[in-house]
Amino acid sequence: MKRYCAELVGTFWLVLGGCGSAVLAAGFPDVGIGLLGVSLAFGLSVMTMAYAIGHISGCHLNPAVSIGLWEAGRFPLSQLPYYIGAQLVGGLLAGGILLMIATGKPGFDLLAGFAANGYGAHSPGGYNLMAALLAEVVMTAMFLVVILGATDSRAPAAMAPIAIGLCLTLIHLVSIPVTNTSVNPARSTAVALYVGDWALSQLWLFWVAPILGAIIGALIYRVMGSEKPVIE
């Protein structure tokens, strides 16, 4: 139960920190943090939680990461539903709190985005479905390669959170214009359920693409010569 609570709290912080920066601070007049600031917010939220709860739950914070770790032989199938459930609950709680904060500003428009992920007319840069799919698959695959490499027993353990946090920052720097960057079904669901409408109709992509990418990333790391799987 402690592991699931840790995943809930960690995903809560990821969504509140990352999506919160996008909704509340990215375009704030004169001192807005912009794309770089939002990218850093996502990376810092993962890095800080990796140090805070990594020793408790492994700090997945992401259904795609949990599935990728299972594919790589690092995580038992029996715990997948509980981890994913905890991640979704944590994300939705953060989305709810963020919505309450955001609606405190006159003129707030939920349908304008609320940091939801999208493609086509709802892509920040107008990118189509195929571009969004490719971006999410490739970015998630590389995220898993970095996670598996950084947490390999042969790698310096203390540096893993830094490598993973910086990788997520880089991913956002590249793909925010394409999809607003998901690579995490829990993060996407956490805001899409509140936006409803177009965000819910496009949510499928931000489950399918990250999970597919995570599996590909796990397979790539195995081919490169990973450790013998701990979970058979």
Q: Would you state the pLDDT for residue 208?
A: 98
What's the CA gap between 156 and 154, in Å, rounded?
A: 7
Residues in the chain: 232
One-character DSSP codes across 47-69:
HHHHHHHHHHH----SHHHHHHH
Residue with tokens 């809560």: 12
Where do the structural domains in the chain lie, given as residue ranges? 1-225
What's the CATH superfamily of 1-225? Glycerol uptake facilitator protein. (1.20.1080.10)
What confidence score (pLDDT) does residue 232 get? 47
pLDDT band at residue 30 using 50, 70 and 90 as cut-offs: low
Work out the angle at residue 115's Cα, subtended by the Cα atoms of residues 114 and 120, and round it to the nearest 5 degrees: 105
pLDDT(192) > 70: yes
User: In this model, does residue 124 exceed pLDDT 70?
Assistant: yes
Cα atoms in the 13 Å half-sphere on the side-chain side of 198: 14
Of the chain, the percentage scoring pLDDT greater than 90 comes to 80
Q: pLDDT per residue over 93-121, tens digit each? A: 999 999 999 999 888 888 777 999 999 99
